[in-house]
Amino acid sequence: MGGMPGGMLTLSANGQNNGIVWGTAPLNGDANKHVVDGIIRAYDASDFDPGPNPGAPGKLRRLWEQAGFKYSKFCPPVIADGKLLVPTFDGEVDVYELN
């Protein structure tokens, strides 16, 4: 994505089922030095494909994404009571209802 400091990840699941990897990351620019836009992405953790080479990056199927907030570095997304909470650099917390 071209920005520092990279993304923040969170994992949610319903017991041992329906695992989702949630990630926030800078959408453009360097969040280490500037206030930049952010993006949230959700990936299906139950469908992880490690690929043909051990140790190589695997692939996750993207379920959802949302942009339109100021990225707050070092603040991972939080899942609670069926809601996705994303802290923003605007001093707010964006709340998304999970279906």
Question: 53-83, pLDDT tens digit by residue?
Answer: 666 666 778 999 999 999 998 899 999 988 9
Q: How many CA atoms lie within 13 A of 35 on its CB side?
A: 7
Domain ranges of the chain: 8-97
Predicted confidence (pLDDT) per residue in 6-54, tens digit? 789 999 988 888 889 999 999 888 888 889 999 999 999 876 666 676 6
DSSP string, the chain: ---SS--EEEEEEETTEEEEEEEEEESSS-TTTS--EEEEEEEEEEEEE--SSTTS--EEEEEEEEEEEEB-TT---EEETTEEEEEBTTS-EEEEE--
Predicted confidence (pLDDT) per residue in 75-87, tens digit? 999 999 889 999 9
The pLDDT assigned to 16 comes to 84
pTM, entire model:
0.81
CA pair distance 10, 21, nearest whole angstrom: 6
